[in-house]
Amino acid sequence: MNWRRTRAMARKEFLHILRDARSLILALMLPLVMLLAFGYALSLDVDRVPVTVCDRDRTPASRELVSRFDGSRYFEVVSEVESPEQVDREIDRGRAAMALVIPGSYAKDLAGGREDGDAEVQLIFDGSDSNTAAIALGYADALVQGYALQLRAAAEAKLSGRRTPAPVGARTRVWYNSELESKNYIVPGLVAVILMIIAALLTSLTIAREWETGTMEQLLSTPVRPSEMVLGKLSAYFALGLCDMAVCLVAGVFVFGVPLRGSFPLLLLSCGVFLFGALSWGVMLSASTRSQMMAFQAGVLTSFLPAFLLSGFIYSIQNMPAVIRAVTYVIPARYFITILKGVFLKGVGVEVGAAAVAAELAFLALYAAAVFVFATRKLRGKIA
């Protein structure tokens, strides 16, 4: 490999990027726009669930239970109705995702009017959004159980004259994301998805464009070898990709406030390795076809969908079918997201040893090298 010819190829590609001002601005602004759009719009937090209340008891006891729901950060009482039929209409029209129905004998049952000593209330959920309904059910069950335990302790204290402590007291400690904010989980994954998409799209058109514009014949008349051509093109877009990476990281830390607890050099190294592999994948797609349209479509199909759906970014890999789980092992974004979350949230490289992500980093390096070699051979076969 002749480094002089490689530098000349990189310079040619740099000049092409700089002369196309609109594409350059789009390449630099698109990651920021995507990060802001996904970061603010995509949230796994379930709070302020709209609740409609049907209180048929109208006693201080029933109002106390309603105030427990309304005072919780997870629920918001949006309406009060008089009958169960009105509850159905509120949920059917989408005004409420949950209903709290308190029977007319609630206060009497609470005071010991039932033989079993239990006072019952009804919770109705809109199951059309199963994820929100399941999370809201857990919140409501915890709230009701806590309130019931408090009432039972107060009743026992009234009878015995002293307060009976709870038999078991749980002390919960959340590691790595103590605020349980979904943005701390989503934004690092978004960095991987955006870099994969941008990198593949940037380079998926390079060689196909040479064929369509007729400049490939001019390149073939020069002594430039396929490996020098691929590496030269990658060098130019690698620099552009580093700018996109910097935009994503700065926005994630300073705009969304995601904590960066780990090693910054390790973060840069893993980003560079992943970026080189993603760019090589785009070059391989471009070398496989002489049409920019086909290369672009292949780039979107093979970068966005796997990185978004099969990387563990949103959907848990452990919950996927066995066949799909096997496919995820060849998705590079899966390993990069693991590294990003480890560096951002777990402090990998500082509090936790870098060996915790050594296997993921080794796979990314192997993937980048293999795709680069395959892209070079694909281009050599096309030229031949």
Q: What is the DSSP string of 274-324?
A: HHHHHHHHHHHHHHH-S-HHHHHHHHHHHHHHHHHHSSSSSS-GGGS-HHH
Q: What is the CATH number of the domain that holds 100?
A: 3.40.1710.10
Q: Is residue 62 part of a domain?
A: yes
Whether 165 is covered by a domain: the verdict is no
| Residue ending a domain, choose from 160, 191, 226 | 160
Contact yes or no for 317/325 (Cβ under 8 A): yes
**Average of per-residue pLDDT across 347-357:** 79
Are both 153 and 195 inside the same structural domain?
no
Share of the chain above pLDDT 90, in %: 19
* Domain presence at residue 172: no
Query: In this structure, are 192 and 88 located in the same domain?
Result: no
In contact, 255 and 347? CB cutoff 8 Å: no
Q: What is d(CA 276, CA 279) in angstroms, rounded to the nearest whole number? A: 5
pLDDT at 194 over 80: yes
The pLDDT of 113-121, averaged and rounded, is 66
Same domain membership, residue 186 and residue 144? no
Whole-number percent of the chain with pLDDT over 70: 92
Does any domain span residue 364?
A: yes
Q: What is the mean pLDDT of the chain?
A: 84
Instruction: Report, as an integer, the average pLDDT of 62-83.
Output: 90
Contact 283, 233 (CB under 8 A): yes
Q: Please tell me whether residues 276 and 232 are part of one structural domain.
A: yes
Parallel, antiparallel, or unpaired: how do β-strands 122-125 and 98-102 relate? antiparallel
Under the banding of pLDDT at 50, 70 and 90, the label for residue 46 is confident
For residue 74, the one-letter residue type is Y
> Same domain for 137 and 185?
no
Q: Rg (Cα) of the chain, in Å, rounded?
A: 29
- Clarify whether residues 91 and 204 are in a common domain: no
Cβ atoms of 244 and 31 closer than 8 Å: yes
Question: Domain check: are 123 and 272 in the same one?
Answer: no
- Clarify whether residues 23 and 63 are in a common domain: no
pLDDT for residue 174 is more than 60: yes
For the cut 90, the answer to whether the pLDDT of residue 365 exceeds it is yes
Average pLDDT over residues 81-103: 89
Is residue 115's pLDDT more than 60? no
Residue 169 lies in a domain: no
| Phi/psi-derived region of residue 179, left when phi > 0, alpha when psi is between -120 and 50, beta in every other case | alpha
Q: CA-based diameter of the chain, in Å?
A: 99
Most confident of 36-45, 320-329, 346-355: 320-329
Average pLDDT over residues 14-23: 79
Q: Which residue type, as a one-letter code, is found at position 13? A: E
pLDDT at 162: 64
Residue 364 confidence (pLDDT) above 90: yes
Task: Print the domain residue range for 68.
Answer: 49-160
Write down the pLDDT at residue 116.
52
Kindly tell me if the per-residue pLDDT of 113 is higher than 60: no
Does residue 377 sit within a domain? yes
The answer to whether residues 33 and 64 belong to one domain is: no
The pLDDT score that the predictor gives to residue 337 is 92
Taking CA atoms, 74 is separated from 65, 68, 142, 181, 267, in Å, by 15, 11, 11, 14, 35
250 or 154, which is more confident?
Answer: 250
Same domain, 323 and 225: yes
Residue 13 and residue 87 in one domain? no
Domain count, the chain: 2
162 vs 246: which has the higher pLDDT = 246
Average pLDDT, stretch 30-34? 84
131 and 35 within one domain: no
Is residue 168 in a domain? no
Task: Express each pLDDT in 267-310 by its tens digit.
Answer: 999 999 999 999 889 888 888 877 778 888 888 888 888 888 88
Residue 186 resides in a domain: yes
* Distance in angstroms (rounded) separating the CA atoms of residues 378 and 355: 35
